[in-house]
Amino acid sequence: MAQLDSIPQMLLPVMLTLTRGNPPVNKTVSLETTFENVVLDKANILEYSAFCGFQNSADFPATWLYLLAQRAQIATMLDSKFPLAAPGIVHLTNSLEMFAKPSLDAPVTLKSSVVIEGKEKGSLFPMFTVEILQGSSKIALCKSGYIAKRGGGDKTEKSGDKVASEPDFSAAKSAGSIVMPDSIGWDYAKVSGDFNPIHIAGIMAKAFGLPGKLAHGWYSVSMFASVIERVKSMSVKKIDVQFLKPVLLPTTVALEYLESGSPTAFRITSEDKRIVHLTGQVS
């Protein structure tokens, strides 16, 4: 059993993983960590729900559970047996399903695991799985795919978690837009606990080779989930998303979805539709 700290508590240890350098990972790495007695923060859940626009206060926003899973993933990256430096690992895909509404009065257990398939050269693709349990009941399952970019591999290589081809959005319906001011990274960080400096400080983002600070990927997902719940009178319990192009702040993004088909396909684009930032499905 391990302690699950908050993301701010883990920021310095995360930066210290840069001392790991860029070691070869020729053999498959597999790690498992369990975090018990993790308390659900009622006040934060309400704050997050209001911030993202979830209107049914009696329901539980499934997307909030990613905030727990993310903490478990970062804590797993801090394991001395995790061979990669955490900064610079890029989130590619995420799948989250909530099987049952958790009780806010009981703690949960998080079982976090990661597999990194070893290879002599080229980028590596850590795949994290986090199970969230309450007692003997499985509450949710989160799977997150990342890339640790390295040279020397096939330039056409993709993540082991294959991204499906995008559906035809020529007949998509608009779900409106999201205005993302320059301050939204900091505002969402205060709600989510994710104080990754590339989202809140332009100087730090540029230090990591980025053009400027980026919107949190899960902020975009959470905002869309709240919108589609209102538009389609549904309660999102499952979401699959592929992060394609980062959202540079400040900006306004457009939301689109397909009326037909189940699950509901969606995407988030630039206002002029020229850039697809992310695509996915909800049900």
**Pair 206, 142 in one domain:** no
**Pair 166, 117 in one domain:** no
3-state class of 124 per DSSP?
Answer: strand
Q: Give the residues of the chain that fall short of pLDDT 70.
A: 1, 57, 152-164
Give how many domains the chain has, as a whole number: 2
End of a domain among 128, 153, 178?
153
d(CA 115, CA 255): 33
Is there a contact between 139 and 107 (Cβ–Cβ < 8 Å)? no
CATH of the domain at 99: 3.10.129.10
Q: Are strands 29-38 and 108-116 parallel, antiparallel or unpaired?
A: antiparallel
Sequence-distant (≥ 6) Cβ neighbours of residue 172 within 8 angstroms: 256, 257, 258, 267
End of a domain among 120, 153, 186?
153
Radius of gyration of the chain (CA): 18
pTM of the model: 0.94
**Pair 27, 79 in one domain:** yes
Complete DSSP assignment for 144-209: EEEEB--SSS-TT---SSPPPPPP--TTPEEEEEEEE-TTHHHHHHHHH----HHHH-HHHHHHTT
Sequence-distant (≥ 6) Cβ neighbours of residue 64 within 8 angstroms: 45, 48, 49, 222
For 122-142, how does the pLDDT look when each residue is reduced to its tens digit (9 = 90+)? 999 999 999 999 999 999 999
pLDDT value of position 152? 67
Residue 105 CA to chain centroid, in angstroms? 25
- What are the distances in angstroms from CA 123 to CA 76, 150, 160, 165? 20, 4, 11, 21
pLDDT value of position 156? 46
pLDDT value of position 56? 78
**Pair 95, 196 in one domain:** no
Beta bridge partners of 254: 177, 269
**Pair 140, 185 in one domain:** no
Burial grade of 237 (CB within 10 A; 0-12, 13-18, 19 or more)? middle
**Pair 7, 116 in one domain:** yes
Biggest CA–CA distance in the chain, Å, is: 52
**Pair 139, 209 in one domain:** no
- What are the distances in angstroms from CA 4 to CA 35, 271, 275? 6, 39, 37
**Pair 179, 210 in one domain:** yes
**Pair 25, 127 in one domain:** yes
End of a domain among 123, 153, 183?
153
pLDDT value of position 179? 97
**Position 187, amino acid:** D
**Pair 168, 129 in one domain:** no
**Pair 113, 213 in one domain:** no
Q: Which domain holds residue 101?
A: 1-153
Sequence-distant (≥ 6) Cβ neighbours of residue 256 within 8 angstroms: 169, 172, 173, 174, 175, 266, 267, 268, 269
Is there a contact between 125 and 147 (Cβ–Cβ < 8 Å)? yes
By C-alpha distance, which of 56, 58, 69 is closest to 95? 69
Q: In this structure, how many other beta carbons lie within 10 angstroms of the beta carbon of residue 19? A: 7
pLDDT value of position 108? 97
Q: What is the dihedral of CA 238, 65, 137, 228, to 10 degrees?
A: -30
**Pair 117, 1 in one domain:** yes
- Quote the tokens at residue 273: 């539709």
